[in-house]
Structure 1
Amino acid sequence: MAVSKKAKNVGKNVKGKVKETTGKAVGNESLEMKGEAEQAAADAKQAGQKAKDTMKH
């Protein structure tokens, strides 16, 4: 996986975790759900990139 794509995915995952944690802390379910969704999307993209890398080798 390209380092820049991996960094973007990790960044999105962290951003999602911050949103989720903030949402829990302030009792904002919408923000919490958005954070969880952002993390899931980042994980899915990372898994897709890993699969592409595996196919190249």
Structure 2
Amino acid sequence: MMPQTPTARVCSHCDGFPVVHITTGTRTLDGQRRTLAAACPACQGTGTHTAPASLVRAGK
């Protein structure tokens, strides 16, 4: 059964693509490009973020 309120949402900074590989412009000895992995700083590479806590007014 699916929960009614999702606990994790897609990160608004990376749109769910948390890790990208950037080419450095150099090549290895066998001709492949060298790359660096960069993770989204907002979600730390998970692609999701938790929903903010909501306040509920109780009483009058």
Greater C-alpha Rg: 2
Give the helix-richer structure, 1 or 2.
Answer: 1
Q: Same fold (TM over 0.5)?
A: no
Give the strand-richer structure, 1 or 2.
Answer: 2
TM-score w.r.t. structure 2 length?
A: 0.29
